[in-house]
Amino acid sequence: MRVNDAITGLILLVVAIAIFAYSTTFPQLTGMQFSAGFWPQTLCVLLALCGGFLIFSGIKERSGGQAWVRLDEWWRQSGTLFTVALVPLAIFFYILFSDFLGFIISSLIILLTMSLRFGLKPVSAIILAVVTTGVMQFVFVDLLLVQLPWGILESVVYGS
Amino acid sequence: MENFVIALGLVFDPYVLMVVGAAAVFGLFVGAIPGLTATMATALLIPVTFFMDPVPAIGAVISCSAMAIFAGDIPATLLRIPGTPSSAAYTDEAFAMTRAGKPETALGIAVICSALGGIVGSLVLAVSAPILAEFALNFTSLEYFWLACLGLTCAALITTGSPVKGVVSLLIGLLIATSGEDIMSGYPRFSFGNPELAAGISLIPAMIGMFAVSELIRNASTMKSYTPPVITHLGSIFSGLGPILWRYKFNMMRGWTTGVLIGALPGAGAGMAAWVSMAFAKKFSKEPEKFGTGHPEGLCEATSSNNAGLGGAWVPALVFGIPGDAITAIVIGVLFMKGMTPGPTIFMHAGDLLYALFIIFFLANIAMVGLGWAAIRVSRHIITLPREVLVPVILLFCIIGSFAINTSLLGVTVMLVLGLLGYFMEENDIPIAPAILGIVLGRMIEENFFNSLAKGRGDPMIFFDRPISAVLGVITISIWVGPPLYRLYRSWRGTPRTA
């Protein structure tokens, strides 16, 4: 998705103003010359200047006939749009449910859903999900000693 | 000498050699897959190296990045699809050799020139870094402030496309780095009451998000239109190679020089070194008309250059703590995680570890010939791996990798947010590398700024108090204000005067 520079500039300007305003609430300790917000505020001023420049250049481009927003072909194909959205959705799913479901079940659901959606045959998708989850569990939990969440399987593994 | 002997012991440990070898195979694998970059390979490796000792951890990064940059040449030659951006400069030339029936020669040039370039880059690193470090021992916060400013300025302005967008990317990175405790007062900035956010945004999930997740979104968007390529059987890659390399020896030497110098420039990296070398090869060639027809001259120079650039990029990273490219930005993150603060004192405190890294640099590049040959032999299987398998597996690896750093879902959330941001930025020609350099150097630049001001009791002229800092300051400010003033002057001269 390509947007006209003026839109990017406007977003940057709004973000810079918001961060600047929020960082004015940071305290200034007695005896200190600068508050904790001084550095982010300086960066925000520079970001706002860049935003202003992009708004200016975007409007100039726009007068040359450029559209505000240009979408790739796949944005108009609902199937592909869902396929692409599956990448961030899978991460979001893990953030929401991994504590409850645990790593193993979350991983199986993510791998199965994605590989089936991408066009893998069901048997291959199941093999991929099981093998990948097993390898990840072995590498991170057994070799690297990372505490991946067990979730609802905790009572099965350790007893209730 | 004592350090060197200790270093030999550290490197020639079966565990270290196994880790370095496995990372090399991983680098070859990721680099050979079109669409997956050397930076992505390195970022994906970090969660695993996080749990290792410094030598195997950083050794793994060295061998992985060197192999990935070379492996990018394989699909570039066989399919006209550069495996990594560093191979893009000579993809057309290499593919023209394949069309002319000489894919083996092109791949042979790639593997040998990459290995030789890498060895020269390692040599420059091993010789120049300690000398520069001795010089840099006299630096104070003033010089470091200007050096970081200069590095970030180069990173923002060198990037292809609009310099303003490079600066935007850099400012985004610097703003991300402001989260967490304020250096002077200890106040938790942008933590919104969350104790995890008060510790600041972790570098590794940020990098995995910006480099890997954004790439996966792009891969998913082309999933339907992607058809696995067909690759023909390859003969011996070394036959008839000697005379070609001998003929273009001066090209290779120029490629080494260009690669090391451009690699050391913050923000430029191996990709830009290859582009500049390709342009040099064509400009100074006696047969420029042969370029584009499968002529090996440019290939010899550019493949030498991009791998030499890798060693060059490590020089400012180790000596000043200022990364030369996105890969060394990741390395600086790893060094900090391992308690090794980059800078001149690292040569005094961890001399044996540094020598170990130099040895691994040489070993990796020597091993590249054998491993590269093997990778080319099995390349048809790697390149044709189905996307529907790769994307979900890599995504899961990203999730677990981001989680593992702090065993926290905050890392996964940071990865998601910055992955989407990275995708939007790249779609709109805002480069990602300056943002990563901004995240890495943000706190260093802020700390040096306030420490210097404190030394000068608030007087900003302190930044020009010492000769080296004054010179660095003048150079940096000239780069900031010079081009806009020149543009204003030109537009003023170009405007017809009405009286």
Domain boundaries, chain B: 2-493
Q: Is the pLDDT of residue A133 over 60?
A: yes
Q: Is the pLDDT of residue A2 over 90?
A: no
- Residue B232: pLDDT band by 50, 70, 90 thresholds? low
Residues 125-154 of B with CB under 8 A from A: none
Q: Is the pLDDT of residue B498 over 80?
A: no
According to the model, what pLDDT value does residue A126 have?
Answer: 96
According to the model, what pLDDT value does residue B76 have?
Answer: 83
Helix axes B141-158, B433-455, angle to 10 degrees: 160
Chain A partners of B190 at a C-beta cutoff of 8 Å? Answer: 22, 40
Total Cβ atoms within 10 A of residue B261: 17
Contact between residue B73 and residue B87 where contact means Cβ atoms under 8 Å apart: yes
Closest partner CB to A95 (pick from B178, B413, B453): B413
Residues B440-451, mean pLDDT to the nearest whole number: 87
Residues A16-37, mean pLDDT to the nearest whole number: 86
Q: Is the pLDDT of residue B496 over 60?
A: no
Chain A partners of B167 at a C-beta cutoff of 8 Å? Answer: 46, 50
Q: Is the pLDDT of residue B82 over 80?
A: no
According to the model, what pLDDT value does residue A106 have?
Answer: 96
Give B439-456 as a DSSP string.
Answer: HHHHHHHHHHHHHHHHHT
According to the model, what pLDDT value does residue A130 have?
Answer: 96
- Residue B95: pLDDT band by 50, 70, 90 thresholds? confident
Indicate yes or no: CB of A27 within 8 angstroms of CB of B185: yes
Residues B48-58, mean pLDDT to the nearest whole number: 86
Strands (E), B387-493: none
H or E segment to which residue A106 belongs: helix A78-117
- Residue B228: pLDDT band by 50, 70, 90 thresholds? low
Indicate yes or no: CB of A146 within 8 angstroms of CB of B51: yes
Phi and psi based region of residue B282 (left: phi greater than 0; alpha: psi -120 to 50; beta: remaining): alpha
Q: What percent of chain B has pLDDT over 90?
A: 22
According to the model, what pLDDT value does residue A49 have?
Answer: 95
DSSP structure class, residue B52: S
Q: Is the pLDDT of residue A144 over 50?
A: yes
| Contacts with B495 (C-beta within 8 Å, 6 or more apart), sequence order | none
**More confident of the two residues B314 and A113:** A113
Residues 59-88 of A with CB under 8 A from B: 72, 74, 79-80, 83-84, 86-88
According to the model, what pLDDT value does residue B46 have?
Answer: 84
A120 — contact with chain B (CB < 8 Å)?
yes
**Which of A56-60, B136-140, B246-250, B252-256 shows the lowest per-residue confidence on average (mean pLDDT)?**
B136-140
A40 — contact with chain B (CB < 8 Å)?
yes
Residues B382-396, mean pLDDT to the nearest whole number: 85
Return mean pLDDT, chain B: 85
Nearest-Cα distance to chain B for A155, in Å, is: 21
- CA torsion A131-A136-A138-A140 (nearest 10°) is 180
Residues B335-339, mean pLDDT to the nearest whole number: 79
| Contacts with B104 (C-beta within 8 Å, 6 or more apart), sequence order | B234, B235, B236, B237, B239
Contact between residue B271 and residue B39 where contact means Cβ atoms under 8 Å apart: no
Contact between residue A34 and residue B450 where contact means Cβ atoms under 8 Å apart: yes
pLDDT in tens, A102-128: 999 999 999 999 999 988 999 999 999
According to the model, what pLDDT value does residue B227 have?
Answer: 63
Indicate yes or no: CB of A147 within 8 angstroms of CB of B391: no
Chain B partners of A57 at a C-beta cutoff of 8 Å? Answer: 164
The CA distance from B480 to B157, in Å, is: 10
Pairing mode, if any, of strands A2-3 and B188-189? unpaired
The CA distance from B330 to B436, in Å, is: 9
Indicate yes or no: CB of B223 within 8 angstroms of CB of A92: no
Q: Is the pLDDT of residue B113 over 70?
A: yes
| Contacts with B139 (C-beta within 8 Å, 6 or more apart), sequence order | B147, B320, B344, B468
Produce one character per residue of B321-339: b if its CB has 16 or more CB atoms within 10 Å, e if not.
bbbbbbbbbbbbbbbebbe
According to the model, what pLDDT value does residue B136 have?
Answer: 82
Chain A partners of B419 at a C-beta cutoff of 8 Å? Answer: 88, 91
Angle made by CA atoms B24, B71, A135, in degrees to the nearest 5:
45
Q: Is the pLDDT of residue A92 over 90?
A: yes
A12 — contact with chain B (CB < 8 Å)?
yes
- Residue B499: pLDDT band by 50, 70, 90 thresholds? very low
Chain A partners of B178 at a C-beta cutoff of 8 Å? Answer: 39-40, 43
Contact between residue B323 and residue B266 where contact means Cβ atoms under 8 Å apart: yes
Contact between residue B398 and residue B415 where contact means Cβ atoms under 8 Å apart: yes
Q: Is the pLDDT of residue B273 over 60?
A: yes
Residue of A103, A90, A111 lying closest to B388 (CA atoms): A111
Total Cβ atoms within 10 A of residue B354: 22
The CA distance from B376 to A55, in Å, is: 48
Contact between residue B28 and residue B371 where contact means Cβ atoms under 8 Å apart: yes
Q: Is the pLDDT of residue B383 over 80?
A: no
pLDDT in tens, B166-188: 999 999 999 999 998 888 888 89
Helix axes B296-320, B91-99, angle to 10 degrees: 150
pLDDT in tens, B282-304: 888 888 888 888 889 999 999 99
Total Cβ atoms within 10 A of residue B185: 16
According to the model, what pLDDT value does residue A122 have?
Answer: 94
